[in-house]
Amino acid sequence: MARTSEKSTLAIGGLAAVLASACCLGPLILISVGLSGAWIGQLTRLEPFRPWLLAISTIALVVAYRQLFHPAAACEPGKVCAVPSVRRAYHWLFWIVAALVLIAFGFPYVAPWFY
């Protein structure tokens, strides 16, 4: 149960962080890589949902942290969670998603420097 739940909470946290920063960070990234068009301005419609998406991503990260770093039950030998490389991958993925959430939280404060 815990392994699938870890993957899903990390995926939910990452998706919510990307969507939360899509209104502000998305256009900057798209223009930086050479994509442009009037449709990029439509990403600002996600701005009202930003606080909700940040809250969802924070809650998902807290749940994932508890499952990854403070497991309620020990992993049985022979299961996927007992493989050290899988555990390391989950830990790396957690920190990548945490960095995405921090970027989503902080970007509106640094955005004026780029625009």
**What is the tens place of the pLDDT at every residue in 87-101?**
888 888 889 888 888
Q: How far apart are CA 10 and CA 27, in angstroms?
A: 24
Q: What is the pLDDT of residue 2?
A: 46
Greatest alpha-carbon pair distance for the chain in Å reads 54
Angle at 61 between CA 67 and CA 42, to 5 degrees: 150
Rounded to the nearest 10°, the torsion over CA 99, 100, 104, 107 is 60
**What is the tens place of the pLDDT at every residue in 59-115?**
888 888 888 887 767 777 777 777 788 888 888 888 988 888 888 788 777 767 766
Angle at 39 between CA 58 and CA 98, to 5 degrees: 15
Range of the domain at 63: 2-113
* Chain centre distance of CA 93: 9
Q: What is the pTM of this model?
A: 0.67
Number of domains in the chain: 1
